[in-house]
Structure 1
Amino acid sequence: MPRPRPSAIWLREEPVRKPRLSRERITRAAVELLDVEGVEGLSMRRLAARLDAGTMSLYQYVGSREDVLDLATDEAVAEIAIDDVEGLPWRAAVSQQMGRGRQVMLRHPWLPTLMSTRPLLGPHALARSELVYALLRGAGLDGARLTAAVGALTYYVQGYAAMENTWRGLRHEPAAEADLRRRAQEHLDRAAERHPTLARHADLGNDDFDASFQLGLDVLLDGIEAQLGPRA
């Protein structure tokens, strides 16, 4: 039987060790390795080699590879700036945060997957969650509606960034991407009798990720704003 995973690293104290390594150094090296190799390419052995250290020495600072992934996730989330939202209307501030989150996930293609598969209890993740909750609470949401709104926004950004990273990873040449989109649209056109709505309205030729992301985000924000009623 698989061994149960210990409690999240954020719920355990950092051990006092000799200063040659630290959680901070290990975390920075892990982010760099993830950017190059992805999640599957991160191993304790490779991480130790990047730090010019022995593999077993890492376990004096972290308990497992999962701990390293938790730390790296929070380190990357820290790049989502939160220090200049004061004075913005709630909708503009939330839109800004979601857009910044997407940009960070594009810089770190491994991030959307990790954010959706582990508890985000690190200090940077909690600070950003606090901001989004506070913005929507200040707009008038509370209870289950507040939680649902935060979840809808979060999962939209993670899913969109994951899709965009996958697409860009598969299609490096603009000409090849345009050709694929053209052939896909032609395929839908030929299937118009069976799928008339798709053939007419699924715009497979649209390659403007920025505009499409913002439009989808605006649809979500419109729905959230509709929940607020006249007070908004």
Structure 2
Amino acid sequence: MPRPTLTRDQIVTTAVELLDEDGLEGLNMRALGQRLNSAATAVYWHVKNKDDLVALAGDRVWAEIRLPDLAAVDWRTAATAMADDLYAVFTRHPWLVQALATHLFHGEAKARHDDHTLAVYEAAGFTGGAADQAAGAVFTYVLGNAAGASATAALTRKIQREGRDPEEVFAATMKEAAEAAAGFPRLMSRIEAMDTAAAAYAEAPDDTFAFGLSALLDGLAARLP
């Protein structure tokens, strides 16, 4: 039986904190036990392994996405709000983007989110597989846009573990990128416009996410009868 001094809720809450700070590579039972002031073996009374813990943490943060009332707003407003919230979750918890490539997420919060997402596109007029395709297109778009922030966070941690200064590394890399782009005026203009080396490494121009999401929803709307 699980030990009464430690609860699954405590474990998952602490795991999310550790993942936010140190990423997937920083999560292990020993580090988690230290944060909980408990033996690592005690954690195994509540979770099977690291993969199980990541799945539980993922479902915890999925619950942060709000589900608009479809009786109060139109489908496009709801779709935009859910996509914005999903993007915020991905950028707030960049490890989740990494984990989607290596873990199969499931749980009540994700199931509730996915069910409501389908309801949004069904409210628009999509039916059956078409609702799945519409929802999948928007999810993939959001995930792709969040990949840059996730990559920056992971690379920053890697550089710090190596004892180097991330800003110096990014600056040196962007200097080399600028040299390679010297013969390409459009790209050179883009690089020169960046405020920081880290921004130049992974971020898109301002409002790119909103612009692309609006264009995608325009395309979906055009496919409706």
For Structure 1 versus Structure 2, the TM-score category normalised by the shorter chain is 0.7 to 0.9
How many Å apart are 1:46 and its aligned residue? 0.7
- Equivalenced residue count is 204
Match for residue 25 of structure 2 among 16, 22, 40: 40
Amino acid at match of 1:32: E
Match for residue 219 of structure 1 among 190, 199, 215: 215
What TM-score, normalized to structure 2? 0.78
Amino acid at match of 2:91: L
What TM-score, normalized to structure 1? 0.75
Q: Is contact 1:34–1:41 with CA below 8 Å preserved after alignment?
A: yes
Amino acid at match of 1:221: L
Q: State the alpha-carbon separation in 2 of the partners of residues 57 and 217 from structure 1.
A: 45
Q: State the alpha-carbon separation in 2 of the partners of residues 61 and 147 from structure 1.
A: 34
Amino acid at match of 2:48: G
CA gap of 1:39–1:22, structure 2 versus 1, over 3 A, is same
Q: Is 1:133 matched up with 2:126?
A: no
Q: State the alpha-carbon separation in 1 of the partners of residues 212 and 166 from structure 2.
A: 24
How many Å apart are 1:32 and its aligned residue? 0.6
CA gap of 1:19–1:210, structure 2 versus 1, over 3 A, is farther
How many Å apart are 1:58 and its aligned residue? 1.2
Identity %: 32
String of CA shifts for 1:100-144, please: whole Å, max 9, x gaps: 111122111111122343333211111111111100011111233
Name the SS for the 1:101 alignment partner. Answer: helix
* Unmatched tracts of structure 1, length 5 or more: 1-15, 193-198
RMSD across aligned positions (CA)? 3.0
Q: Is contact 1:112–1:162 with CA below 8 Å preserved after alignment?
A: yes
How many Å apart are 1:17 and its aligned residue? 2.5
Q: Is contact 1:73–1:115 with CA below 8 Å preserved after alignment?
A: no
CA gap of 1:75–1:224, structure 2 versus 1, over 3 A, is same
Amino acid at match of 1:126: A
Q: Is 1:190 matched up with 2:183?
A: yes
Q: Is 1:70 matched up with 2:47?
A: no
Q: Is 1:107 matched up with 2:103?
A: no
Q: State the alpha-carbon separation in 1 of the partners of residues 38 and 152 from structure 2.
A: 36
Which aligned pairs between 1:56-205 and structure 2 lie closer than 5 A?
56-82=41-67, 86-167=71-152, 180=174, 187-188=180-181, 190-191=183-184, 199=186, 205=193
Q: State the alpha-carbon separation in 1 of the partners of residues 14 and 4 from structure 2.
A: 16
String of CA shifts for 1:22-60, please: whole Å, max 9, x gaps: 211110010011111110010011111111111111111
Q: Is contact 1:164–1:209 with CA below 8 Å preserved after alignment?
A: no
Name the SS for the 1:20 alignment partner. Answer: coil
Q: Is contact 2:87–2:142 with CA below 8 Å preserved after alignment?
A: yes
